């Protein structure tokens, strides 16, 4: 059995993570889950750890790093290893073996016995760096060779059809069928959307970037309407990470009104009971103040 406690300390470029591991018994294997050791580094990668104990009582540590943004090129550096590009199809990487700093053995056999106790301390430093995708930045800034417009009441943004079609099957169907007026007119009217949100959509299309936290909900609305699955998932993931007692009710209300159950379930799974209780208290206080004003 492995019991793990971790602490995180932010550094200039990433995180310093310390694991204190209590191992009781013989050969053990432990695989992390979201609730214990999944770590987000610089909003660029999600890192999970895996620990296994060999017969010599050492702990083997592995990690897997998954990019958060699909079009973004990210380099990751773990401990003193060389920087590596984070793969679109990541695999488990070995960090190394660690011997116990304290042990109590009930047998002299080489293989650990059921009552043996081992204590490990493992430090891991992780840094993540965004590599500027120059060609995508140039395409995003281009206006000379664009051939389609995303339009709203206060303006429009120019895009390339090929990029738009790759983003969503809904857009692809619009662009491929001549009977659709959007194809013939060279633009699509997106009602109820601000020009700022359209620019955020374009930034995501070309460079995989997301806007500030408070601007995610209108972008999620577009992703849901036009079935942009990856953008939808990334918005939900980031919204889940920023849940606080003061914004919990509003985000849950949005998920119900816009019929996005994935957001609701994600929030409920990831939100501690204490935050839920604080949110309920804050909501009741807000309603009480509003009732007093009405009187």
CB-CB contact of 188 with 177 (8 Å): no
**Mean pLDDT value across the chain:** 81
CA distance 277 to 295: 27
Give pLDDT tens digits for 176-200. Answer: 877 677 777 888 888 889 999 999 9
Half-sphere exposure of 188 (CA within 13 A, CB side): 21
Domains and CATH numbers, the chain: 2-131 (no CATH), 134-291 (3.30.710.10)
pTM: predicted TM-score of the whole model, two decimal places? 0.56
Give pLDDT tens digits for 142-164. Answer: 888 999 999 998 899 999 999 89
Give percent of the chain above pLDDT 70: 79
Higher pLDDT, 212 or 11: 212
Residue 228: name the closest of 239, 219, 237 by CA: 219
CA distance 29 to 46: 22
**What pairing do the DSSP bridges indicate for beta strands 84-85 and 73-78?**
antiparallel
What's the confidence (pLDDT) of residue 194?
Answer: 93
CA distance 162 to 184: 16
> Which region holds residue 34: left if phi is over 0, alpha if psi is between -120 and 50, else beta?
alpha
The position carrying tokens 């104990």 is 53
What's the confidence (pLDDT) of residue 5?
Answer: 82
Question: Of 59-63, 75-79, 168-172, 279-283, which range is least confident?
Answer: 279-283
Residues 217-241: b if buried by 16+ CB within 10 A, e if exposed: bbbbbbbbebebeebbebbbbbbbe
């Amino acid at each position: 059995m492995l019991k793990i406690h971790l602490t995180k300390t932010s550094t200039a470029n990433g995180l310093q993570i310390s694991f204190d591991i209590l191992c009781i018994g013989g050969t053990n294997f432990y695989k992390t889950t979201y609730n214990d050791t999944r770590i987000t580094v610089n909003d660029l990668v999600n890192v999970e750890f895996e620990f296994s104990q060999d017969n010599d009582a050492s702990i083997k540590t592995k990690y897997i790093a998954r990019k958060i943004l699909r079009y973004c090129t990210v380099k990751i550096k773990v401990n003193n290893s060389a920087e590596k590009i984070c793969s679109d199809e990541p695999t488990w990487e070995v960090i190394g073996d660690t011997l116990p700093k304290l042990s109590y053995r009930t047998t002299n056999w080489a293989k650990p016995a059921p009552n043996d106790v081992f204590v490990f301390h493992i430090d891991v430093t992780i840094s993540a760096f965004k590599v500027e995708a120059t060609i995508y930045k140039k395409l995003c800034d281009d206006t000379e060779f664009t051939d389609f417009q995303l339009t709203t009441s206060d303006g429009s943004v120019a895009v390339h059809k090929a990029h738009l079609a790759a983003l969503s099957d809904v857009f692809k169907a619009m662009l491929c069928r001549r009977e659709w007026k959007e194809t013939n007119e060279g633009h699509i009217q997106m009602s109820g959307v601000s020009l700022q949100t359209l620019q955020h959509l374009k930034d995501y299309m070309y460079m995989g970037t997301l806007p500030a936290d408070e601007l995610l909900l209108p972008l999620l609305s577009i992703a849901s309407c036009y079935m942009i699955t990856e953008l939808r998932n990334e918005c939900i993931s980031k919204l889940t990470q920023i849940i606080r007692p003061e914004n919990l009710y509003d985000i849950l209300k949005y998920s119900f009104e816009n019929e996005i159950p994935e957001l609701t379930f994600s929030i409920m799974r990831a939100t501690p009971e204490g935050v839920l209780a604080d949110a309920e208290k804050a909501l009741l206080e807000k309603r009480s103040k509003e009732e007093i004003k009405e009187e």
